[in-house]
A and B are shown apart, each in its own frame.
Chain A
Amino acid sequence: MKQTPTKFQISNILQIPTLRLLYRVWNFGFKDDLKFGVWNWGFRTLLATSFLLFPFAACAHIGDQNVFFEGNAGPYPVRVVIRPPGVIPGLAEISVRVNANGAKQVTVLPMRWDSARQGAPPPDEAKLVRGETNLFNTQLWFMRGGAQSVEIAISGAVGVGKVIVPVNAIATRVLGMPRGLGWVLAGLGLVLVGLAASIIGAGVRESVLASSEVPTKKRRWRARGTVAFAAIGLTTFLWFGKNWWDAEANDYRNNRLHRSLSLTPKLAADNGARILTVEREIDSRRRNGPLVPDHGKLMHLFLIREANMDVFAHLHPIKRDWKTFDVTLPPLPAGEYSIYGDVTYETGLAETLIGKIALSNPGTATAAGVLDTDDSWKLAQPLNGAFVTNKHRVALSTSLWMDMSLEGPLIEDRDTRLRFAVRDAILRSVKLDHFMGMAGHLILRRNDGTVFTHLHPSGSFSMAAQQLFELRAEGKAPLKVASSKADPLCRLPPPDATTNTMLHEEISFPYAFPKSGSYRLWAQVKVRGEVLTGVFDVNVAPAHRRFAKAGFLQ
């Protein structure tokens, strides 16, 4: 199967100075253009003026579609990256690194939530990437939007291992036309219209004459009149074409392009506490069913104070009805806050709902005793893009520290692993409790809010979605969902009690920053029953400046 060049290959090419210059010139030729309607009529339909490719909306995260998985596929430890297509139907890129010897074959199988294994095509074999010993790569078509999954199967010396990774198949890309292509198409269009009009004129003028007969003056004028008439006809045709194109582009934007649903907040006071009520937006066209709990919570709500992200809260609202959730606010200081609500639907689609709220000073309001034990909040120094510190050790409390270790510089779209460990006052390693089904959580946001992600040590997907896909693949859950207002048809198993007793010394999160820029990271762990949050700021460099190798860490 044809494979698109990876960043690694492009970067290598760009090390040739002349090509690098060309690439930069070509890059500068791009400019944003979302509006196809700039063409009024005629050929201008072909004059697409610019190129824009950006993640337009959200799924389980904001501005970041890629799915990372790190864990085991049976006996094989694997690291999987799924880069979904920006449009549906489109091609997703799947990379699998098997961190064990003996893997002979890696296959990938797309399974949609409502057809599971019985509706899946034959699996595709991932090919070993040239120059690598354990990195496999392939592409998969996602033909329909909605909750998808990819089953990765590894065969080798110690048998067969499988794992299912959920992924949202949604259109997020708005693509303009590269200027060069626009000019080529416009030129070809001009030639086509000019040639068509000329052919019609020549047809009227000469085509019915006998050999060697010369067209009369009258016939010549008739031909000219016909050309004028044809020009009007062709222009009308192009006008229809332009309207059609506009209609298709509008249909894509209004109906197929994914849009983040909103959270509408309301504040109320209750016995001296501030109660935040959020109502989630429902789009009746998306039949994703009711919400299901992801690591025990129907919604993970995050509040981040604008504009410098100095206040952060991670809360777990209680469901009041199918649309409305309540949560007692901790004593967050006054300010404008962005709200992010991570939810998973019964289909397995995970989404981040977004909203805004202005909070006044908490005054004497208190939340003591009414918060969920997993709720937490943190006040920190403001993030200032010009003075981002990349500080790798921060204080969690008077006696605890958190260290962050990076595996080299952070570069846009480059696969990395973010590691965190908690130390005591004399820098000894501290054991971490289980925190909502795992060792820790990492939330990160770009300074302009265009990227927001909630990561787990196992990756960036919803664990509830993974459970749903596993149950459906085994035939233990129905291939349909309840209505949005009802309870889910599919009951997820309770968290495994044995894993909750495990303690960890270090946590790591697989990730690749989708854009360069300044980010704030909130790493959350639980130590001796208390949720602690370490706040770090990092700078991510653009990929094309460093010409760094994209690819996997070992």
Chain B
Amino acid sequence: MLGATSIVVGIFWDISWHRTIGRDTFWTPAHMAIYLGGLLGGLTAGWLVLHTTFFGNEREKSAAVKLWGLRAPIGAWVTIWGCLAMLTSAPFDNWWHDAYGLDVKILSPPHTVLALGMWAVVLGALLLVLREQNNTAALSAAPSTAVRSHWFFIYGNGVLLAMASVFLIENSFPNQQHSDPFFRMSAATYPLYLVGVARAAKFRWSATLMALAYMLIVALMAWVLPLFPGEPRLGPISNRVDRFVPLPFPLLLVVPAIGIDLIRMWLGAGRNWWRDWLIVLLSAIVFVGLFSLTQWFFAKFLLSPYGQNWFFAADRHWGYTEELAEWRTQFWDKAGSESNPPATMRTFGIALICAFVSSRVGLTLGNWMAKVRR
């Protein structure tokens, strides 16, 4: 979890670094935080593999999964995979910069490899937590370590949600929250965690707690980063910032998450195929409905003078290349636009399908995670 925290802090810090200072090297503190997180996870998992395989007792060996002749908990394998993917992305990304220029955007093939690696490192840590959680008694009778593992699971999912939100950030600025891609991409991503992975948590309000964890992480970064001074070291400079630039205020995922938790409570805890499909269907509808309504109006609020303060940070998430102009407080959707077409009824129809598929995949994953014992 320390590694996961290091990674998520590093990601937010790095993006802020690029939008504030601009110039960076491999050795920036933000990069170090990301790689430290990967390294912590990788070394821990590597130690688990070596220990379980060569020095573990029979109980430890029998509580591990066998892979390529070695033994370790499934979470350790996933983390090792993530660490390897992160390492692979480094030379790939370096070559990419030489071939096509330094990235001025987040989404690129080598960054996707890196993102998958970071995601897997955190997912592996979550699986290790789940292993502990699922091997203990029910929450009411659990010892303190088990309670801690339940909260770790919630926190880890908050980290995963925060990482997913960063991956979508190029389409998630408040100004884009009336645009078609924002709703489609959000619907394809967040239900995976809120509907699906939340199934593996032991809390009644697990989706709500995960959403709150995500919001707290993102909001903390939005509040803390601007406390540090920083000035652009690259030109052309259109906006002379003097503080670290944060990412926008988090999405209000807690609203659809409450709806999803209520549906799950209403349908009961029993697990069978028809109940799962009903949960998926209703959750998708509730997610798209509540999320769209909430963000539609919350984005308006963020673009209004009420959002221009330290708490909502809507006046300070603009980087050094983004000039001060009216477009900062306007919605960017425009008919005919390739990048920001306006949301229509078709958008919400597609979003519903995306949310349905995402929820179904997530629930399958969640059902498996709820049973992970090795």
Q: Which A residues are within 8 Å of any B CB, using their own CB?
A: 2, 85, 87-90, 110-112, 114-115, 119-122, 141, 143-144, 171, 173, 175, 177, 181, 184-185, 188-189, 191-192, 195-196, 198-199, 202-203, 205-212, 241, 244-245, 248-249, 252, 256
What is the total of A-B residue contacts with beta carbons within 8 Å?
A: 132
Determine if A188 and B84 form an interchain contact, defined as CB atoms under 8 angstroms apart: yes
A-B contact pairs, 30 of them (CB 8 A): A114-B236, A119-B235, A119-B237, A119-B238, A121-B235, A121-B237, A141-B22, A143-B22, A181-B91, A184-B91, A185-B92, A188-B87, A191-B84, A192-B81, A192-B85, A192-B88, A198-B68, A199-B74, A202-B66, A202-B77, A203-B372, A206-B74, A208-B368, A208-B372, A211-B62, A211-B63, A211-B373, A241-B109, A248-B108, A249-B100
Please name all residues of chain A whose beta carbon is closer than 8 Å to the beta carbon of B237 when the two chains form the complex.
Answer: 115, 119-121
A89 to chain B, nearest CB (A): 4
Determine if B88 and A185 form an interchain contact, defined as CB atoms under 8 angstroms apart: yes
Interface residues of B in 308-330 (CB under 8 A from A): 321
Q: A87-B98, A248-B109 are in contact. List 13 more A-B contacts (CB 8 A).
A: A115-B235, A121-B237, A141-B22, A143-B102, A144-B236, A173-B99, A185-B92, A198-B68, A206-B374, A210-B373, A212-B63, A241-B112, A252-B100
Please name all residues of chain B whose beta carbon is closer than 8 Å to the beta carbon of A192 when the two chains form the complex.
Answer: 81, 84-85, 88
Determine if A121 and B233 form an interchain contact, defined as CB atoms under 8 angstroms apart: yes
Question: Of the candidates A173, A191, A199, A205, which one forms a contact with B78 in the assembled complex, judged by CB atoms under 8 Å apart?
Answer: A199
> Which residue on chain A has the smallest CB distance to residue B130?
A207
One digit per residue, 1 when the CB lies within 8 angstroms of any chain A CB and 0 when it does not, for chain B 234-247 equals 11111000000000
Question: Of the candidates A88, A120, A210, A244, which one forms a contact with B235 in the assembled complex, judged by CB atoms under 8 Å apart?
Answer: A120
Report how far A198 CA is from B109 CA in the complex, Å: 23
B371 close to chain A: CB less than 8 A: yes
Please name all residues of chain B whose beta carbon is closer than 8 Å to the beta carbon of A114 when the two chains form the complex.
Answer: 236
Determine if A206 and B235 form an interchain contact, defined as CB atoms under 8 angstroms apart: no
> Which residue on chain A has the smallest CB distance to residue B370?
A208
Determine if A198 and B102 form an interchain contact, defined as CB atoms under 8 angstroms apart: no
B20 to chain A, nearest CB (A): 12
Report how far A320 CA is from B285 CA in the complex, Å: 65
Interface residues of B in 99-120 (CB under 8 A from A): 99-102, 104, 108-109, 112
A428 to chain B, nearest CB (A): 52
B232 close to chain A: CB less than 8 A: yes
B95 close to chain A: CB less than 8 A: yes
B237 to chain A, nearest CB (A): 5
B88 to chain A, nearest CB (A): 4
One digit per residue, 1 when the CB lies within 8 angstroms of any chain A CB and 0 when it does not, for chain B 64-78 equals 011110000010011
Please name all residues of chain B whose beta carbon is closer than 8 Å to the beta carbon of A209 when the two chains form the complex.
Answer: 373-374
Most buried by B among A2, A143, A196, A198: A143
Question: Of the candidates B59, B98, B109, B233, which one forms a contact with A175 in the assembled complex, judged by CB atoms under 8 Å apart?
Answer: B98
Question: Of the candidates B59, B85, B92, B374, which one forms a contact with A207 in the assembled complex, judged by CB atoms under 8 Å apart?
Answer: B374
Determine if B95 and A181 form an interchain contact, defined as CB atoms under 8 angstroms apart: yes
Question: Of the candidates A87, A175, A189, A248, which one forms a contact with B88 in the assembled complex, judged by CB atoms under 8 Å apart?
Answer: A189
Determine if A207 and B98 form an interchain contact, defined as CB atoms under 8 angstroms apart: no
B25 close to chain A: CB less than 8 A: yes
Please name all residues of chain B whose beta carbon is closer than 8 Å to the beta carbon of A203 when the two chains form the complex.
Answer: 65, 74, 368, 372
Q: What 10 A-B pairs have minimum CB-CB distances, sorted nearest first?
A: A115-B236, A119-B236, A87-B101, A212-B62, A175-B99, A89-B102, A211-B63, A208-B371, A206-B65, A207-B74
Question: Of the candidates B81, B109, B233, B234, which one forms a contact with A196 in the assembled complex, judged by CB atoms under 8 Å apart?
Answer: B81
Report how far A2 CA is from B238 CA in the complex, Å: 26
> Which residue on chain B has the smallest CB distance to residue A195?
B81
Determine if B67 and A198 form an interchain contact, defined as CB atoms under 8 angstroms apart: yes
Please name all residues of chain B whose beta carbon is closer than 8 Å to the beta carbon of A121 when the two chains form the complex.
Answer: 22, 232-235, 237
B23 close to chain A: CB less than 8 A: yes
One digit per residue, 1 when the CB lies within 8 angstroms of any chain A CB and 0 when it does not, for chain B 337-374 equals 00000000000000000000000000000001001111
Determine if A89 and B101 form an interchain contact, defined as CB atoms under 8 angstroms apart: yes
One digit per residue, 1 when the CB lies within 8 angstroms of any chain A CB and 0 when it does not, for chain B 30-72 equals 0000000000000000000000000000010011011110000
Please name all residues of chain B whose beta carbon is closer than 8 Å to the beta carbon of A115 when the two chains form the complex.
Answer: 235-238
Report how far A114 CA is from B102 CA in the complex, Å: 21
Please name all residues of chain A whose beta carbon is closer than 8 Å to the beta carbon of B371 when the two chains form the complex.
Answer: 208
Determine if A211 and B95 form an interchain contact, defined as CB atoms under 8 angstroms apart: no
Report how far A99 CA is from B195 CA in the complex, Å: 71
**Chain B interfacial residues counted at CB < 8 A:** 46
Please name all residues of chain A whose beta carbon is closer than 8 Å to the beta carbon of B232 when the two chains form the complex.
Answer: 121
Question: Of the candidates A177, A181, A207, A248, which one forms a contact with B100 in the assembled complex, judged by CB atoms under 8 Å apart?
Answer: A248
Determine if B101 and A256 form an interchain contact, defined as CB atoms under 8 angstroms apart: yes
Report how far A143 CA is from B374 CA in the complex, Å: 49
Please name all residues of chain B whose beta carbon is closer than 8 Å to the beta carbon of A202 when the two chains form the complex.
Answer: 65-67, 74, 77
> Which residue on chain A has the smallest CB distance to residue B239?
A119
Known: A90-B101, A195-B84. A110 touches B235 (CB 8 A): yes
Report how far A205 CA is from B23 CA in the complex, Å: 48
Known: A115-B237, A188-B88, A203-B65. A245 touches B372 (CB 8 A): no
Most buried by A among B25, B88, B104: B88
Report how far A256 CA is from B102 CA in the complex, Å: 13
Determine if A88 and B99 form an interchain contact, defined as CB atoms under 8 angstroms apart: no
Report how far A175 CA is from B262 CA in the complex, Å: 55
Question: Of the candidates B25, B97, B374, which one forms a contact with A2 in the assembled complex, judged by CB atoms under 8 Å apart?
Answer: B25
Report how far A469 CA is from B361 CA in the complex, Å: 57
Determine if A141 and B238 form an interchain contact, defined as CB atoms under 8 angstroms apart: no
> Which residue on chain B has the smallest CB distance to residue A112?
B236
Please name all residues of chain A whose beta carbon is closer than 8 Å to the beta carbon of B101 when the two chains form the complex.
Answer: 85, 87-90, 171, 256
A504 to chain B, nearest CB (A): 38
Please name all residues of chain B whose beta carbon is closer than 8 Å to the beta carbon of A199 when the two chains form the complex.
Answer: 67, 74, 77-78, 81
Please name all residues of chain B whose beta carbon is closer than 8 Å to the beta carbon of A119 when the two chains form the complex.
Answer: 235-238
Please name all residues of chain A whose beta carbon is closer than 8 Å to the beta carbon of B68 when the two chains form the complex.
Answer: 198
> Which residue on chain A has the smallest CB distance to residue B64?
A206
Please name all residues of chain A whose beta carbon is closer than 8 Å to the beta carbon of B368 when the two chains form the complex.
Answer: 203, 207-208
Please name all residues of chain B whose beta carbon is closer than 8 Å to the beta carbon of A2 when the two chains form the complex.
Answer: 25
> Which residue on chain B has the smallest CB distance to residue A212?
B62
One digit per residue, 1 when the CB lies within 8 angstroms of any chain A CB and 0 when it does not, for chain B 281-318 equals 00000000000000000000000000000000000000
Please name all residues of chain A whose beta carbon is closer than 8 Å to the beta carbon of B78 when the two chains form the complex.
Answer: 199
Please name all residues of chain B whose beta carbon is closer than 8 Å to the beta carbon of A211 when the two chains form the complex.
Answer: 59, 62-63, 373-374
Determine if A206 and B104 form an interchain contact, defined as CB atoms under 8 angstroms apart: no
Determine if B91 and A141 form an interchain contact, defined as CB atoms under 8 angstroms apart: no
> Which residue on chain B has the smallest CB distance to residue A189?
B88
Determine if A90 and B77 form an interchain contact, defined as CB atoms under 8 angstroms apart: no
Report how far A173 CA is from B98 CA in the complex, Å: 9
Report how far A398 CA is from B99 CA in the complex, Å: 53
> Which residue on chain B has the smallest CB distance to residue A207?
B74
Report how far A206 CA is from B373 CA in the complex, Å: 9
Determine if B109 and A244 form an interchain contact, defined as CB atoms under 8 angstroms apart: yes
Report how far A173 CA is from B95 CA in the complex, Å: 13
Determine if A143 and B59 form an interchain contact, defined as CB atoms under 8 angstroms apart: no
One digit per residue, 1 when the CB lies within 8 angstroms of any chain A CB and 0 when it does not, for chain B 260-295 equals 000000000000000000000000000000000000
Determine if A143 and B74 form an interchain contact, defined as CB atoms under 8 angstroms apart: no
Known: A114-B236, A141-B234, A241-B112. A205 touches B81 (CB 8 A): no
B106 to chain A, nearest CB (A): 14
Determine if B235 and A111 form an interchain contact, defined as CB atoms under 8 angstroms apart: yes
Most buried by B among A110, A112, A195, A244: A195
Most buried by A among B22, B101, B237: B101
A92 to chain B, nearest CB (A): 12
> Which residue on chain A has the smallest CB distance to residue B124?
A199
One digit per residue, 1 when the CB lies within 8 angstroms of any chain A CB and 0 when it does not, for chain B 211-254 equals 00000000000000000000111111110000000000000000
Determine if A205 and B65 form an interchain contact, defined as CB atoms under 8 angstroms apart: yes
Interface residues of B in 4-28 (CB under 8 A from A): 22-23, 25
Please name all residues of chain A whose beta carbon is closer than 8 Å to the beta carbon of B102 when the two chains form the complex.
Answer: 89-90, 141, 143
